[in-house]
Amino acid sequence: MQQGLRTELTRIALLAVALGIAGFFNGQVLLTLIVGGGLYMIWTLTKILRLYQWLEKGAKGLPPEATGVWGDISNQLYRLQKRNELAKINYRSLLKRLRKVTSALDEGLIILDAERCLDWWNPAAAHLLGLQEVDNRQPITNLIRSPIFVSFIQGGKFDLPLECPTSGNEQRILQFSARIFGDDELALVVQDVTRVRNLEDTRKDFVANISHELRTPLTVLTGYIETLQSIDQPELPPVWNKALAQMEQQATRMNLLTEDLMMLSRLESTPASTDETVQLCALIHPIIENAQDLSQGKHQISCTCEGSPSIAGNSKELHSAFANLTYNAVKHNPDGCDISIAINAGESTTTVAVKDNGCGIDPKHISRLTERFYRPDDGRSTQSGGTGLGLAIVKHVLIRHHGQLFIDSKLGHGSTFTCQFDHQRRTV
Ligand code: ADP
């Protein structure tokens, strides 16, 4: 039991005993008890009144002096009040720090309510989008009217960021990333990505130009190498024949490199055109014939294709992707391996899987295989005559066809490269 309550009960008991004794001596026990009890009530009421006044004044300063139950209640209220004040101070300083942090950010941060009206924004957002105090509570789509931005906000799918040029300054590109939180509110992060995009464009242009520019000197060199090789000069020292053969081999490799680089540049910089109906079985068959030539009968190559699956796409690009996967299975696996290509049109997806039972790939390399020039075993892969760009091309082709590449491989047991196309998006 609380100390105050105990004191109060003891006090009442002692008072009752004292009043009883006094009443016994003056012969008026009941009257004495009533008068004494009344006085105790008045004393208690004054304490309640003082406590009440203290509370009415906002419970500031120390609570009124009291003992017993009222002393306990005052103390508890005082402690509660102190804790509240401390929490308020902490909350205010946290809010101040949050404001400072969000003000220091280069990225704009905007909070939109469930109706997608502006609720709060940081100074960077005000600077990037020209927001002013009067815009508060305005729907964001009234302020940024670009159709792609409006459908981004209204579409409600925020897994990928949106890039859109600023109205009035088409050169400036802003990136919007959004996340829903709390009660269907939306946190919108705005970044100026103009510089990054310009740098990326410069890089793409550079790669495209250099690959294009290399073609002419390479054609001239290849021509001369072929001419020199065709001349029958028995007196030529054997070292010359070896040198010419190596020059031819390296020139072929450089030609392949420039072709692959130009293909990648095209895939990155031109808009995807996927309006052709591509019959997958018809597309795969010539690839298999070429793969058989490449293998020279050293691998068993088979294909299963049920029905006549087709997808909407670009046949040249798809040919390049499937050819890269099939030729890789030949180039990177030892003689005697089985290679199978399976085309399957399921209910929601169409898949093209290239499977081999060859050397397989260490799992630690799999996530990086589609990076340009990434090779788990550089020496062996270079010998196989590849450019290191094949899987990067496959990845880009699939992105342009809204497809995905899955790589499943076990060292020593072989690999399966599966291209998956979503019906809802692309199937004819
Ligand atoms: P490359 O021109 O070297 O073939 P890719 O980008 O096509 O370049 O492939 C990257 C690397 O992935 C290859 O160098 C090879 O080590 C590995 N690889 C690709 N396909 C296979 C496969 N079917 N079996 C084993 N390794 C493979």
Pocket flag, ligand 1, residue 113 (CB < 6 Å): no
Bridge partners of 178? 188
User: Beta partners for 181?
Assistant: 185
Give phi and psi for 190, each to the nearest 5: -115, 130
Whole-number Å distance between alpha carbons of 128 and 126: 6
Distance from the alpha carbon of residue 221 to the mean position of ligand 1, in angstroms: 28
Residue in this structure with the two tokens 């004044």, named with its chain if needed: 57
Mutate-to-test residue for ligand 1 from 369, 397, 416, highest number of ligand atoms within 8 A of CB = 369
pLDDT at 381: 63
Strand partners, 389: none
Is the CB of 390 within 6 Å of ligand 1?
yes
Whether the model pTM is above 0.85: no
Side-chain-facing half-sphere of 28: CA atoms under 13 Å:
6
Question: What is the CA(207)–ligand 1 centre distance, in A?
Answer: 22
The C-alpha atoms of residue 323 and residue 68 are separated, in whole angstroms, by 91
The domain 276-427: what is its CATH number?
A: 3.30.565.10
Beta bridge partners, 344, equal 351
Q: What is the structure's pLDDT at 382? A: 64
Q: Whose CA is nearest to atom 27 of ligand 1?
A: 332
Series of mean pLDDT values for 10-residue runs along the chain (428 residues): 81 92 91 92 90 84 81 86 92 93 93 95 94 94 92 92 86 94 95 93 90 91 89 76 89 92 90 86 95 95 89 94 96 95 91 96 94 82 78 96 94 95 62
User: Does the beta carbon of 375 lie inside 6 Å of ligand 1?
Assistant: yes
**Which runs of consecutive H residues, i.e. helices, occur in 296-373?**
315-331, 363-366
Beta strands in 34-142 (DSSP E): 108-112, 118-121
What local confidence, expressed as pLDDT, does residue 239 receive?
84
Tell me, what's the pLDDT at 378? 67
- Closest to 426 (Cα-Cα) out of 350, 337, 339: 350
Amino acid 425: pLDDT? 54
How much is the pLDDT for 426?
A: 46
* β-bridge mates for residue 28, sequence order: none
**Angle formed at CA 197 by CA 194 and CA 200, multiple of 5 degrees:** 150
Domain 196-269 has CATH 1.10.287.130: yes
Distance 81 CA to ligand 1 centre (A): 70
Q: Ligand 1 mean position to 375 CA, how many Å?
A: 7
Residues 127, 129, 135, CA angle at the centre, nearest 5°? 100
Q: State the Cα–Cα distance between residues 220 and 58, nearest whole angstrom.
A: 93
Can you give the pLDDT at residue 428? 36
Is 369 close to ligand 1, i.e. is its CB under 6 Å away? yes
- Are the beta carbons of 301 and 358 closer than 8 angstroms? no
- Among 294, 327, 332, the mutation site with the greatest number of ligand 1 atoms within 8 A of its Cβ is 332
Ligand 1 centroid vs 333 CA: distance in angstroms? Answer: 10
Going from the Cα of 332 to the center of ligand 1, the distance in angstroms, rounded, reads 6
**From the CB of 314, is ligand 1 less than 6 Å away?**
no
State the pLDDT at residue 385: 72
In this prediction, residue 297 carries a pLDDT of: 93
- Residues 130, 133, 137, 140, Cα dihedral to 10°: 0
CA nearest neighbour of 331 among 259, 261, 391, 262: 391
153 sits in which H/E element: helix 147-155
Assigned CATH for 106-192: 3.30.450.20
Cβ–ligand 1 contact at 326 (below 6 Å): no
Domain extents in the chain: 2-99, 106-192, 196-269, 276-427
In the chain, how many H helices and how many E strands?
Answer: 14, 12
